Amino acid sequence: MWGGRFTAEPDAIMEAINASIGFDWHLARQDIDGSRAHAAMLAHQGILNDKDAEAIREGLLTIWSEIKGGTFTFSTALEDIHMNVEARLREIIGAPAGRLHTARSRNDQVATDFKLWVRDQLDAAVQGLEALIRALLSQAEAGAEWIMPGFTHLQTAQPVTWGHHMMAYVEMLGRDLSRMRDARVRMNECPLGAAALAGTSFPIDRGMTARALGFDRPAANSIDAVSDRDFALEFLATASICAVHLSRFAEELVIWSSAQFRFITLSDRFSTGSSIMPQKKNPDAAELIRAKIGRILGANVALMTVMKGLPLAYSKDLQEDKEQVFDAADSLILGLAAMTAMVGDMTANRATLQAAAASGFSTATDLADWLVRTLDMPFRKAHHITGVLVKLAEDKECDLPDLSLAEMQGIHSAITAEVFDVLGVRNSVASRTSYGGTAPSRVRAQIARWKEMMGQ
């Protein structure tokens, strides 16, 4: 492969450690697109004659149909996707194939291929996120007024609305969406034409190849262009944060679908049974989504570690940039699709949610607020008196609204019957009208704002 400089074949172990075709075949389409753009530019600049350019173009199209059709034979001896494609081109069109690599190196070639591939994944992630946000908006809209317990420390805190809880995830995923879009804008510069690292003496037109491949402009520094993998790191970092969000939501679905909570019912389509326990219906899809972060964050750490301390420009270490990004992207896209389908299919058990919201003294804060508002009590004092009332209810094994007025007045004589108005969960959520609060009116406004942003 290396022409005149070499006399001996590589050792089998060298071939095994050196070859990347086992995974970089994923880049076949991008490699062919990049080569077509490069050949067209060489012809346009008079570096390649039209006849050779046409032969190269047709040969590349033939190779792509062979790869798509599964008839292409990938060879480990040919090391990587670039050499596999070029060798096949030589078989098909003969000597002109050797002109394709003019003014190009595998260093700018692989950076371009990989960038094109990551760009596609950013686009797929954006689509996946949009679909999930839409599914959450539907849930939020249906349940803008449904009442459920809000938790801190996974202990009942205050009543909230189902819609509000769904919209919390919309906000999180909305930030992921913005990070994905932002990363795409920043990465969209074309490395092709940087050649090995220093540029080339041929009169190439880097703007032309950049445009042909959908980039905004050529990368400005050839040394940086061949050694930069920020685009993959940013994708992985963004994917990791998104996977954290998916994992948190998945965990809630696992808890909520348990027999102890029964907040939701997951459809049979997204559950599995047990081979021994006939009664079981397990939330496997949610559990797997919960676990995907392991691979995705692992890929992020792995690539950061590969890049750290690499001197400029290209080193073969950079071949170790791809495999885990491929896996992380598959995991993220599949996780988003599975979550979207599960959210679309799940049923909230409204009665259970509301009953749970009313238990655990969830309106104690409303009671304290009432003491402040009606009796002009300092909040700290109101907090203390409410604590005493909660203790009383706990001793009597009842909830706050079950205490009699006389019992309440026994703790503080100025309490009146109006206090019972604030102890119900519906009044509680309706009263939280502060910006970003759980009141159905606020939640509806949030949903409307998001629907508009999503073009719905």
Q: Which is nearer to ligand ARG, 299 or 389 (CB)?
A: 299
Q: Which is nearer to ligand ARG, 91 or 317 (CB)?
A: 317
Give the residue, chosen from 30, 35, 84, 107, that forms a contact with ligand ARG under the rule CB under 6 A.
107
Q: Which is nearer to ligand ARG, 89 or 336 (CB)?
A: 89
Q: How far is the CB of 213 from ligand ARG (least distance, A)?
A: 18
Q: Which is nearer to ligand ARG, 231 or 314 (CB)?
A: 314
Give the residue, chosen from 42, 89, 318, 346, that forms a contact with ligand ARG under the rule CB under 6 A.
318
Asked if 80 touches ligand ARG (CB under 6 A), the answer is: yes
What is the C-alpha radius of gyration for the chain, rounded to an integer number of angstroms? 31
Span from 106-114, 128-136, 158-166, 417-425 in contact with ligand ARG (CB under 6 A): 106-114
Size of the site for ligand ARG (CB under 6 A): 10
Tell which positions 224-253 bind ligand ARG, by CB under 6 A. none
Span from 154-162, 212-220, 279-287, 312-320 in contact with ligand ARG (CB under 6 A): 312-320
Give the residue, chosen from 56, 85, 103, 110, that forms a contact with ligand ARG under the rule CB under 6 A.
110
Q: How far is the CB of 315 from ligand ARG (least distance, A)?
A: 8
Site string for ligand ARG, 371-410 (x = CB under 6 A): ----------------------------------------
Q: Which residues are catalytic?
A: 153, 274
Span from 96-104, 125-133, 142-150, 313-321 in contact with ligand ARG (CB under 6 A): 313-321
Site string for ligand ARG, 254-293 (x = CB under 6 A): ----------------------------------------
Asked if 106 touches ligand ARG (CB under 6 A), the answer is: yes
Tell which positions 7-36 bind ligand ARG, by CB under 6 A. 20, 24
239 to 29, 122, 232, 250, 341: CA distances (angstroms): 23, 9, 10, 16, 19
Q: How far is the CB of 26 from ligand ARG (least distance, A)?
A: 11
Residues within the interface to ligand ARG (CB under 6 A): 20, 24, 80, 106-107, 110, 314, 316, 318-319
